[in-house]
Amino acid sequence: MTHKEFGVVGLGKFGLSLARSLMAHGQKVVGVDNDPDKVKVAAEALTQVYQAEAVDKIALEQLGFGELQEVIVSTGHNMEASILITLFLKELGCKSVTVKAMSRDHEKVLIKVGANAVIFPERYAAEQLAAKLAVPGLIDYLPLGTNIILKEFTVEKWAGKTLRDLDLTNSFGIQVVAVKGLEDKQFVFVPSADKSLQKGDIMAVIGRGEKLLELES
């Protein structure tokens, strides 16, 4: 695993949760917030935490945020602050800045001042939940295009057939990315086209939601 040092500006619910998740993935995380209570909580979990006004360019420079490989800006509903912080980080030389946005207009301004990526956590969570409710067996809703999902199937009527026999890619535009047999502890990724399926096997497939709903394994 490649270890990076991330910066998180704003240690509210989203910022702190993201920072903790990055730490759980073995990354280093430097956080900053102007709220002493949030700093105290974050200090127990992150590599380094500072109490400072991130809208102060000099403070960001002194804390070394411009030298970090990736910085995530999550300043709650303070759009002006997120815009200024993004501008300052790019002026200080930060290679990649991801910013939590409140609206499409906010997103447009962030991109104009240099944001490399803009996220809408609430919208993404809503899309994930809607997909899981609508598509039984869904593993993940992927941001690769319109309604692209990763879904599990348990093999029933396809038992005894090979992936070549099924030809799901040409018939449905669906790709089988992994298969796990009843006795297997882990999935076998990129299975051979000549692999024979057994009843009870679990297949992980990727494709458009409407196509996956047409399948019966």
Stretch among 98-112, 126-140, 190-204 having the lowest mean pLDDT: 126-140
Which CATH superfamily, name and number, covers 130-212? Regulator of K+ conductance, C-terminal domain (3.30.70.1450)
User: Residue 171 and residue 108: Cα distance in Å, rounded?
Assistant: 40
Distance CA 75, CA 64 (A): 19
- CATH 3.40.50.720 is the classification of domain 5-123: yes
Dist CA 29 CA 170 (whole Å): 44
Chain center to CA of 27 = 15
Mean pLDDT of 108-125: 91
Give the separation between CA 104 and CA 121, rounded to whole angstroms: 13
Domains 5-123 and 130-212 in one fold = no
Q: What mean pLDDT comes out for the span 3-27? A: 92
Residue 96 pLDDT greater than 90, yes or no: yes
Share of the chain above pLDDT 70, in %: 90
Give this prediction's pTM: 0.68
Check pLDDT > 80 for residue 131. Answer: no
DSSP lists the bridge partners of residue 102 as: none
Per DSSP, helices labelled H in the chain are: 13-24, 36-43, 57-62, 79-91, 104-112, 121-134, 163-166, 168-172, 209-212
Residue 124 CB contacts under 8 Å (≥ 6 apart), including other chains: 143
Within 10 Å of residue 84's Cβ, how many Cβ atoms?
18
If DSSP codes are grouped into helix, strand and coil, which group holds residue 108? helix
d(C-alpha 84, C-alpha 154), whole Å: 50
Number of H helices, E strands in the chain: 9, 11
Mean pLDDT of 138-166: 78
The full set of domain ranges for the chain reads 5-123, 130-212
Average the pLDDT over each of 53-57, 68-72, 109-113, 134-138 and give the range with the smallest value.
134-138
**pLDDT (0 to 100) of residue 121:** 85
Q: What is the pLDDT of residue 71?
A: 97
What distance in Å separates the CA atoms of residue 148 and residue 206, rounded to the nearest whole number? Answer: 7
| Residue 116 confidence class, pLDDT cut points 50, 70, 90 | very high
